[in-house]
Chains A and B, each alone.
Chain A
Amino acid sequence: MTAPLIALEGIKCLFVRRLDLAARIGNALGAGLREDVVHAVDGVDLAIREGEVVGLVGESGCGKSTLGRIVAGILAPSAGTVRYRGNDVAALPRRERKAASLAVQMIFQDPFASLNPRKRVDSTIGEAPRVHGLVPARELSRYVDDLMRRVGLDPALKRRYPHQFSGGQRQRIGIARALAVKPEFLVCDEAVAALDVSIQAQIINLFLKLRAEANLTYLFISHDLGVVRHLSDRVAIMYLGRIVEEGPADAVFAQPNHPYTQALLAEVPRLDRRKRDFTPVKGEIPSPFAPPPGCHFHPRCPHAMDRCRREVPVLKTIAPGRKSACHLNG
C-alpha cells in the first residue's frame, strides 16, 4: 500500500502561559507558582489517504482546530511528526518542504476575518500563485477568472472588496484562494459553521463538486455531526486533546463505541426527533488547564469505573478499520 497523503504520528501541542514579572517575584519569595500548560493536542495519530474525506469532530476546546493548523503547517507541533507522502515534513529540504506546504491549504471558519478587507478579490486570490511562480504574470488575470468560475463567483466582481460580498460569497473567495496554489489537500476548519442553512448547502455542494473534479483530499473539522456525516468517509472524534474514536463514518454513526460518541450522537437535534425528553450528558467540558486524570471523559461518563480514573485508555482497534479508546473494550 502506498503511504498515506498525510500521516500524523504522536502529535502533541502544548501552549504555555509564561509567568509574568509579578509571579516571578512571588516565586523568588517562595510562592511556588507554576506555569499554566494546556495540552491542546495530546498524542494524536491519524493517517489520511489520498482522495479521502476525514471528518474531525469535537466540542470547543478539544483541540480540533489546533490539530487542523498543525496539519496545514501553520503551527509547529511541540512533539511528533507530520508526514507528507511518507516523508517527515520538518526534515525535508527547503524546496520540497515548500511544495509540501503548498499542497496543503486551509479554509477558515469566519469569512469576515479571513479575508484582507483592504485587498480586492483578484489580488487576494491571485497573490499566492504569482508569488510562488505558478502562473506567468500575463496569464494571471485569466487564471483568477477561471478560479472564480469554479467556485461559483462571477469574474466580473473581481475588482471588488470583501465587504461588498455576502458571507456565502466570501467563503467562496476563501475557497478560491486556497485552490489557487493547486493543493491536493484542504483543511476545512468549521468552513460552513457561520453560514445560513441554504447557503451552507451551497458550500457543501461546492466541496463535493471540487472533490470530484480535482481529486481533493479533505480534513473536515466541524462540531456539526450532520454536516460531517454527509461529507466524510471516515471520522475521528476528539475530546480534550485526544482522539477517542475513529472509523468509517457509516459504522461510527450507526454503532458508536465510545460513550462520548454515543452521548454526542444522542444529543444532536434532528428533524425527525420531535419534542423528546432530553436526557443530556451531565456536566461541563472540563478545563484543559486541569484535565481529569485517566480517561478525560470519566467525570461525565455513565459507565465510569475505578480504572477510568487512574489509567489513560489507549486507542485500540476494536474492529477492522475502527478504533476506540475506552476501558469498556477490555
Chain B
Amino acid sequence: MAEPLLCVEDLKTHFFTRAGVVKAVDGVSFALERGRILGLVGESGSGKTVTGFSIIGLVDPPGRITGGRILFKGRDLAALPEPELRKFRGANIAMIFQDPAMTLNPVLRIDTQMIEAVRAHAAVGEGDARSRERARQRALAALAMVGIPAPEECLRAYPHQLSGGMRQRVAIAVAMMNKPDLIIADEPTTALDVTIQGQILYEVQRLCRETGTALIWITHDLTVVAAIADEIAVMYAGKIVEYGAADDVLDRPRHPYTAGLLNSVPSRNAKGVPLAQIPGMTPSLLDPPPGCLFRQRCARATAACAADPALAGDPSTGAHVFRCHHPLEAA
C-alpha cells in the first residue's frame, strides 16, 4: 500500500479553561490517501471541527495539541513551529469553512483577495510567479473550475454582491487555487439550499477525482456523507467510535451510536411512526469520566463499559474498526 498522504496518530487537543480541562479531541487516529474523501461525522461538541483545526494548526489558546502526531507527507505538523506551519497552510493544506460570509473579507473585491492568496504562497513552489497577472489568471481558472458561470465578473465583485452558493464556490476556489494536497471542509454546505448543495457536492467530487486532492469533509449530516465519502469516521465525545469504508459503516454499523444516528434519519423510518431516538444528550467534555462516554445513552451498556473500550482492529489498514465492548453483530 502506498504511503498515506495524511496520517493522524492518537491526536489529543485539550482546552485548558478556568473550569478545568476540556478534552475536545482525545486520541483520534486515521489515515487518508490521495484523492480519497473522508467523511468526519459527529454531532455538535463531538470534536470534529477541532480535529480539522488541529490538522491545519488553527487551534487557539486555551486550546493546545497535547499529544499525538499529525504526519503529512511524512512530516509531523504537530511538532512544527508556526513559521514552518505557515508554509503548509494554504499551500499544501487548505480549509473551507462553514460560513462563506465569514471567510471572505467584505471590504475587498474577490480579485484582490484571490490574488493575495496566490502571491502569498508563490514563494513555496512557484519561484518567479510574482507577477500579478499570472496570479489573476490562476484565480480565473480556479473560479471556472468550481463552476462559476461568469468568472471575469465574479472577480470584480464584492462578496455581498454574490449569493451564498456563489460565495461558497469562491471559498472553494480559493482553497483549490494553490493546488493543495489536502482540503479540510468544515460543514461547507450546511448553510446552503438543497439544489445549491447538490451543485457544490457535484463540483467537489469532480475536483477530487480530477486533481487527486484528498478531502476531509466534516459534517453532522449522514446523508451528505453517504453521497460523497469513500471512508467515514464517526466521532463521539472527542473520540472516533467507528471508522471504515463508507458502505461498511452505513450498511453494517457496529457501534450502537452509529446505529442510533442512522436510525434517527427520518427517511430510514416508516412515515409517521416515532423515530428511533437516542435518549439523553451529548456529555460535557469537561473532565470526562473514564470509560465509554456513550454508556449513559446506550441500550447495550453493562458494567464493563466503565472501562475504556479499546479500538478493535487496526485503523492504518483501512479495516472497519470501532470502539465498543458490546458491538452490534456483524451482518
Closest to A201 in B: B264
* B202 neighbours in A (Cβ, 8 Å): 277-280
Closest to B278 in A: A198
Q: Which of B240-261 contact A (CB under 8 A)?
A: 246-247, 250, 260-261
Which of A250, A273, A275 has the largest number of chain B CB atoms within 10 A? A275
Could you tell me the dominant secondary structure of chain B's interface residues? helix
Q: How many residues of A contact B (CB 8 A)?
A: 46
Task: Answer yes or no: A269 CB below 8 A from chain B CBs.
Answer: yes
Given A198-B260, A226-B266, A273-B226, A281 and B193 touching (CB < 8 A)?
no
* A274 neighbours in B (Cβ, 8 Å): 226-227, 246-247, 250
Count of CB-CB pairs between chains A and B under 8 Å = 137
Closest to B260 in A: A198
B223 touches A278 (CB 8 A): no
Task: Answer yes or no: B196 CB below 8 A from chain A CBs.
Answer: yes
* A225 neighbours in B (Cβ, 8 Å): 194
Which of B44, B229, B247 has the largest number of chain A CB atoms within 10 A? B44
Closest to B276 in A: A201
B222 touches A271 (CB 8 A): yes
| Distance of A202 Cα from B261 Cα, bound (Å) | 12
B43 touches A198 (CB 8 A): yes
Cβ proximity bits B147-175 to A, threshold 8 Å, 1 near / 0 not = 00000000000000001111000000000
* A224 neighbours in B (Cβ, 8 Å): 266
* B260 neighbours in A (Cβ, 8 Å): 198
A230 touches B247 (CB 8 A): no
| Distance of A197 Cα from B281 Cα, bound (Å) | 11
Question: Which of A167, A230, A231, A270 is in CB contact (< 8 Å) with B226?
Answer: A270
* A329 neighbours in B (Cβ, 8 Å): none
Instruction: Sample 29 A-B pairs with CB under 8 A, ordered by A number.
Output: A166-B281, A196-B43, A196-B220, A197-B43, A197-B222, A198-B264, A201-B275, A204-B275, A249-B271, A264-B195, A266-B198, A268-B194, A269-B197, A269-B221, A269-B223, A269-B224, A270-B226, A271-B265, A275-B205, A275-B227, A275-B228, A275-B229, A275-B246, A278-B205, A280-B195, A280-B198, A281-B199, A284-B163, A285-B163
- Contacts A275-B229, A280-B199 known; list 14 others, CB within 8 Å: A166-B281, A197-B43, A197-B221, A197-B222, A205-B277, A225-B194, A229-B271, A230-B275, A250-B271, A271-B223, A271-B226, A271-B265, A274-B246, A278-B201
Binding site for A on B (CB under 8 A): 43-44, 163-166, 193-199, 201-202, 205, 220-224, 226-230, 246-247, 250, 260-262, 264-269, 271-279, 281-282
